[in-house]
């Protein structure tokens, strides 16, 4: 019987009521059974959890929104330190900053910020945690204009491996602060609050377009020369399914202006449908966030294009899509450029500043029998595109990327290791892709 003396917050033991609900993460490809889950209600609960794992010497993981692709925030036989109840929010409209409890999920955060007509550039899915997203980089529809989520970070409150509460920012614990801006997920300490620069926002335009699969070559050829370079107020994402192609995007400006900006793309690619709507930002965020999904079985991976894909790469990509094992398999293209590319490569651990776009290879299924062919499809997809791509995105972690340290962080990995030596030389914060000491 495990002794939980010292643990505070809502403590849920394996086998006790609420355990099955508490142990699940978003990706139901995994089925993990921790011994204990502690929902931390205040920062001291996090401190006690760290002191407890030191004393008990059992493995542990930190969980925010629980959306890690490889479920790196959960562990068989150990403790899950769940910070999803740290939900305090203080907005300072004058300074344009917000101090955010690390437990926020994206849609709840957008709603709360919208009350003050401000926002941060972050991801799309409603239930993704702001924690894992920011600590892994953070990309969304406003990033070309406002930067990656990590670029808007001003300060973090951290419970260290020794159980101390510290503040890290540009002036104090600046190495740790640097690491938290794209390489801080689960490796250095438990982040309990984030202070962000916030941006005023009101109405925006969103568009949607569709094409037939037969238009794939034409659409990719045009989109990749256009989307990373177009007006930074526009982010145009492209989704390639084997049945259909679509694009959705967000523009901070008027509908008329957007139509003019998009004319060349429409002329060149002739979408079969296109719709434009001018509406409040929050309505678009809600629409794109979709309905609440508790869990999904999936395997995703990513790679960056630093150069436009040559025709031969487009053909490889098309063949992969045509051989997809299911209708839900897809590739998403998200454009970079703009503010993302204006930050120097070593300013944060997020290294892919000069990429034109990131591709995310995605596969989803419902029956366990479909798992293997989907995982193989993703593996093969990534491998076949390697000659034309670079690296991978940390927040889309993939356990099958062998040289993950270089793929995610490039030359910034050395400094991450140095920060590990400074803040967690015992390697208490350890998982399959944690920063090693």
Phi, psi (degrees; rounded to nearest 5) at 34? -70, 160
Q: At what angle do helices 371-385 and 311-322 cross, to 10 degrees?
A: 170
Cα separation, 180 vs 191, in Å, equals 9
Beta carbons of 151 and 398 less than 8 angstroms apart: no
Q: Which residue has the tokens 């401000």?
A: 118
Site map (CB under 6 A) of ligand FAD, residues 17-56, x = contact: ---------x------------------------------
Is residue 139 near ligand FAD by the rule CB under 6 A?
yes
Question: Least Å distance between CB 43 and ligand FAD?
Answer: 11
Compare residues 7 and 107 and give the one whose CB is closer to ligand FAD: 107
Question: Least Å distance between CB 125 and ligand FAD?
Answer: 3
Give which of 25, 38, 128 is closest to 71, Cα–Cα.
25
Site map (CB under 6 A) of ligand FAD, residues 99-138, x = contact: ---x--------------------xxx--xx-xxx-xxxx
Question: Least Å distance between CB 403 and ligand FAD?
Answer: 19
Give which of 227, 231, 225 is closest to 308, Cα–Cα.
225
Cα 278–279–284 angle (5° rounding)? 110
Compare residues 83 and 419 and give the one whose CB is closer to ligand FAD: 83
Question: Least Å distance between CB 312 and ligand FAD?
Answer: 29
Give which of 79, 5, 86 is closest to 41, Cα–Cα.
86
Cα 319–324–327 angle (5° rounding)? 130
In three-state secondary structure terms, 431 is coil
Cα separation, 209 vs 217, in Å, equals 16
Cα separation, 323 vs 213, in Å, equals 13
Compare residues 377 and 396 and give the one whose CB is closer to ligand FAD: 396
Beta carbons of 336 and 276 less than 8 angstroms apart: no
Among 50, 395, 419, 428, binds ligand FAD (CB under 6 A): 395
Compare residues 314 and 416 and give the one whose CB is closer to ligand FAD: 416
In three-state secondary structure terms, 148 is coil
Contact stretch for ligand FAD (CB under 6 A) within 66-74, 164-172, 257-265, 413-421: 66-74
Question: Least Å distance between CB 139 and ligand FAD?
Answer: 4
Is residue 66 near ligand FAD by the rule CB under 6 A?
yes
Of residues 164-193, which lie at the interface with ligand FAD (CB under 6 A)?
185-186, 190-191
Is residue 207 near ligand FAD by the rule CB under 6 A?
no
Among 101, 121, 140, 147, binds ligand FAD (CB under 6 A): 140
Residues that bind ligand FAD (CB under 6 A): 26, 61-69, 72-73, 83, 102, 123-125, 128-129, 131-133, 135-140, 185-186, 190-191, 395-396
């Amino acid at each position: 019987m495990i002794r939980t003396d010292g643990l505070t917050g809502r403590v849920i033991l394996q086998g006790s009521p609420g355990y099955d609900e508490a142990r699940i993460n978003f990706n139901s490809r995994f089925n993990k059974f921790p011994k204990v889950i502690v929902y931390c209600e205040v920062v001291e609960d996090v401190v006690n959890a760290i002191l407890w794992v030191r004393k008990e010497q059992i493995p542990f993981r930190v969980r925010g929104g629980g959306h890690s692709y490889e479920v790196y925030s959960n562990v068989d036989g150990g403790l899950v330190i769940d910070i999803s109840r740290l939900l305090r929010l203080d907005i300072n409209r004058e300074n344009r900053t917000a101090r955010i409890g690390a437990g926020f999920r994206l849609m709840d955060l957008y709603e709360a910020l919208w009350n003050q007509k401000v926002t941060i550039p972050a991801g799309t899915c409603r239930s993704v945690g702001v924690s894992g997203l920011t600590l892994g980089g953070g990309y969304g529809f406003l990033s070309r204009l406002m930067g990656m989520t990590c670029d808007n970070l001003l300060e973090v409150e951290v419970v260290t491996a020794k159980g101390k509460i510290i503040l890290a920012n540009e002036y104090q614990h600046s190495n740790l602060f640097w690491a938290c801006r794209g390489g801080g997920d689960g490796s250095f300490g438990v982040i309990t609050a984030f202070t962000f620069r916030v941006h005023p926002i009101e109405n925006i335009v969103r568009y949607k377009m569709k094409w037939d699969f037969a238009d794939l070559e034409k659409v990719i050829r045009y989109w990749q020369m256009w989307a990373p370079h177009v007006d930074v107020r526009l982010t145009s994402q492209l989704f390639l399914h084997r049945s259909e192609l679509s694009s959705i995007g967000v523009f901070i400006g008027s509908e008329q202006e957007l139509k003019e900006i998009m004319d060349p793309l429409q002329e060149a690619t002739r979408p079969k449908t296109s719709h434009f709507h001018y509406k409040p930002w929050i309505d678009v965020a809600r629409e794109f966030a979709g309905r609440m999904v508790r869990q999904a079985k999936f395997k995703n991976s990513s790679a960056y294009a630093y150069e436009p894909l040559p025709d031969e790469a487009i053909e490889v990509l098309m063949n992969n899509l045509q051989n997809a094992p299911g209708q839900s398999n897809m590739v998403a293209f998200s454009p970079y450029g703009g503010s993302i590319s204006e930050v120097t490569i070593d300013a944060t651990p997020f290294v892919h500043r000069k990429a034109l776009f990131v591709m995310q290879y995605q596969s989803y299924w419902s029956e366990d029998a479909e798992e293997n062919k989907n995982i193989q499809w993703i593996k093969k997809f990534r491998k076949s595109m390697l000659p034309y791509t670079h690296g991978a995105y940390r927040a889309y972690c993939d356990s099958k990327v062998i040289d993950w340290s270089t793929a995610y962080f490039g030359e910034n990995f050395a400094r991450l290791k140095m920060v590990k030596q400074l803040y967690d030389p015992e390697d208490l914060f350890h998982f399959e892709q944690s920063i090693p000491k």
